[in-house]
Amino acid sequence: MAARLPLTPHEPGALRLLGATLIDGTGAAPVADSDVELRDGVIVYAGPRRAAVSVDRTIDLAGTFLLPGFVDAHVHLSMVPGTPEEQRAQFAEEHVLKVAGGLRDTLFAGVTTARDLDGLTPGYRNAVAAGSTLGPRLHLAIAMLSPTGGHADPVRPNGSLPAWAVRPSIPEPGVVDTDDDVIRTVRGLLRTGADAIKVSTSGGIGSPTDHPDDVGLPEAQVRLVHRLLAERGGSPITAHALTDAAVRSAVLGGASSIEHGYDLGDDTIALMLEHGTVLVPTLSTLLRTLDPATTTSAALRDREARQRRGLDSVRRAIAAGVPVALGTDAGVHPHGRNLAELGRLVEVGLEPLAAISAGALGGARLLGLDAHLGSVEAGKLGDLVVTVVDPLASIGDLAEAATVRMVLQAGRVVKDLDGRA
């Protein structure tokens, strides 16, 4: 199903970008001394340099690399730094401005489209579309679904709330137990404007009262969500799933994508291939370094074991041909370092060209936006990234947002060659 394309302001007139090495995101070989022409924010030509063309403006990009705008399919932009006490003391406006800063940092890192999988309301999507704030165009889950005491339930045993649950103006958590709870919650999220429904079929690592190996929503309730969405146009399901059993429940229930997937058996990998299920491995979060001064030795050992299993799981899935999209879990992983995930994907078996394609076209396909985004091709919107780093030689360097020298969104230069808005 073609999804709703969130709009952003576009650049009127004709713009020509000359001289960069073009890596178009399709997996095709790079084009040296390229020529990309945009008219009213849409690409009309992308390929080798041509003879003189009449345009309003030309930008010389000699010595740089031109890539498609990237899609981060798993972010939590409402998660901003601060202790629970600090966040409780904030006015809502303070939190909104911090989120706006994260939106800007994400865009300036080269992510022109993002899918927020719990925490943002459609007001942020509307603000980006209207040009009121700079940020990636947004697809939203708004909240995720899990049982009482599950990954989406923020309440601790004593009734208190952790830091991630005290942010001002966040949506109500999607705590569901009965089928009636599921029906009511899904319909409410769709009414509010959700682009996708996120379910938790396993427990979580950061949850206050559950464990990664716990069961979340069962297969029957994932099927119920799928049926409800089919009745309303077919919005996709994505599943937080850390265990093999949780992934199987999600795939059999109709999920389009699996978030994390750190314990996949070979039979489950084959099942994902059979169903065309996309893996969003969020390796940047899996591999983040914990502070040994504030983490117990048992927790560090558990973390190291989970990292080993997770890397092996993702490597085997990639080797088998499971489709992959870039997702960082940013919010847990720092905002503005989204393209670190490209280097992680190369570490688990993708060639750099394939990692770039997964990071752009793969995400656009997952969101149902590949007719408009994900590659530098005629007919698509002019979402483009210019970097001084050769991503085929040093893709890990793109983790630093400073290496992204220019970002265009629908043909509009939102970050110029000097790194300014």
Model confidence at 163, pLDDT cuts 50, 70, 90, reads low
Per-residue pLDDT, 27: 97
pLDDT at 1 over 60: no
Residue 196 sits in the same domain as residue 96:
yes
Residue 384 in contact with residue 68, Cβ under 8 Å?
yes
Residue 256 sits in the same domain as residue 390:
no
Spatial separation of the C-alpha atoms in residues 176 and 147, rounded to whole Å = 5
Give whole-number Cα distances, 10 to 129, 161, 363, 404, 417, in Å: 10, 41, 21, 20, 19
Model confidence at 420, pLDDT cuts 50, 70, 90, reads low
Per-residue pLDDT, 4: 77
269-317 pLDDT, tens digit each = 999 999 999 999 999 999 988 777 778 888 888 889 999 999 999 999 9
119-143 pLDDT, tens digit each = 999 999 999 999 999 999 999 999 9
Over residues 211-234, the mean pLDDT reads 95
Spatial separation of the C-alpha atoms in residues 291 and 300, rounded to whole Å = 9
Per-residue pLDDT, 208: 79
Chain Cα centroid distance, residue 306: 22
Spatial separation of the C-alpha atoms in residues 375 and 381, rounded to whole Å = 9
Residue 108 sits in the same domain as residue 240:
yes
Spatial separation of the C-alpha atoms in residues 358 and 353, rounded to whole Å = 9
Segments forming the whole domain that contains residue 54: 14-68+377-415
Element (H, E) at 113: strand 111-116
The CATH number that applies at residue 46 is 2.30.40.10
**169 falls within a domain:** yes
DSSP state of 419: S
SS3 content of the chain, % helix, strand, coil (to 5): 35, 20, 45
Model confidence at 421, pLDDT cuts 50, 70, 90, reads low
Residue 309 sits in the same domain as residue 279:
yes
342-370 pLDDT, tens digit each = 999 999 999 999 999 999 999 999 999 99
